[in-house]
Structure 1
Amino acid sequence: MILSIIKGVHIAALILWCAGLIALPLLLAKHSVSEVQTTYTRLRLLTHDGYTMIVTPAAVIAIAAGTVLIYLRGVFEPWMFAKLVAVGLLVCLHALVGHTVVLMSERRGEYAPPSPVPLVIGSIATMTIVLLLVLAKPVVPDIAPAWLKAPQNRQLPVEETPI
């Protein structure tokens, strides 16, 4: 029961986060250097509030719930680590969208919005990779060297454990 609730929270938060990563670049592209104050204010509030009150909390909840699911289900497989790398890329795209939101709000009339195409394509491609990894659970070769997986029977390089 608890596992189902956490999985539902994870999926709902992912839907919000992914939708925001697609919608926000499109909204930011609506800004123009010569727009009137009312249009600028409306778009600025929409993008800023959407990023800070919807998309970012959804990302935090999705990552937290996903982390809990990993430990509850014990999914320590190579495909999961590949998925986590893709999620890290989503986090980087999220930060780039946030940076653009800040630049648009601080530099009215000086900053031309970037094209939303690279952000949207990057987000959709990364989301597709995450979805394929989760649904297909492919056999990913374990590329970690053997010395990384076995104890080395060595002492720590310090005399005592730091407090």
Structure 2
Amino acid sequence: MTVVWLKLLHVSALAIWTAGLLLMPLLFGQRRDAGSGGPLHRLHAFTRFSYITIISPAAFLAIASGTALIVTRGIAGPWFALKLLLVGVLVGLHVWIGLLLLSVFDEGGYFARWRVGASMVALSATMLGIFWVVLAKPVIDPAALLPGFMLRPGGLRDAAATFIPGPTP
């Protein structure tokens, strides 16, 4: 029963996180039209409130509940590594949006219309990639993607020995 509640929390938090991330570029795009004074301050306050009190905690809950699901269900495999890579990209986009929040609302700041579209495409592609990997669980052959030294114990040490000298015996 715990797994059901964890999944519910994970999916709910993920829905809030991703919907909020998709909202942010649209709000940034309204920066120029807001002008200055009251409308600009309201847009800035709403955008900042959304990011800090709704989207970021939802991201934390999604990642924490996902981590708990990994532990309770023992999930592993090459498809899961790809999913974690895509989640890392989504986290990077989340941080990028937070940095934009600081600069877009500075005096003279703006967010070009083409950047709204590009941001929406990047966010949507990442989210769809995550959903596809989770639902399809594609068969991925690591031997076809990775060099041989990465597939054997001690291989990375042997490969790095030419660049990083170790202690002499």
1:10 has 2:10 as partner:
yes
The one-letter code of the counterpart of 1:67 is: T
Superposition map of 1:69-80 within 5 A: 69-80=69-80
The one-letter code of the counterpart of 1:141 is: D
Equivalent position to 1:146, from 127, 152, 155: 152
Matched position secondary structure for 2:46? helix
Structure 1 partner of 2:161: none
Count how many residue pairs are aligned between Structure 1 and Structure 2: 152
Give the CA deviation at 1:140: 1.1
Identity of matched residues, %: 33
Distance 1:32 1:49 in 2: 19
Structure 2 partner of 1:86: 86
**What do you get for the CA RMSD once the two structures are aligned?**
2.2
Give the CA deviation at 1:34: 7.3
1:22 has 2:7 as partner:
no
Please say if residues 104 and 113 of structure 1, whose CA atoms lie closer than 8 Å, have aligned partners that are also in contact.
yes
TM-score, with structure 1 as normaliser: 0.86
Matched position secondary structure for 1:147? coil
Change (3 A) 1:148 1:86: farther
Gaps of 5+ in 1: 159-163
Please say if residues 20 and 51 of structure 1, whose CA atoms lie closer than 8 Å, have aligned partners that are also in contact.
yes
Give the CA deviation at 1:9: 0.3
Distance 1:138 1:3 in 2: 23
Gaps of 5+ in 2: 159-165
Structure 2 partner of 1:55: 55
Please say if residues 31 and 43 of structure 1, whose CA atoms lie closer than 8 Å, have aligned partners that are also in contact.
yes
Deviations 1:100-125 (A, max 9, x none): 111123x12x1121421111100100
Structure 2 partner of 1:161: none
Distance 1:11 1:76 in 2: 19
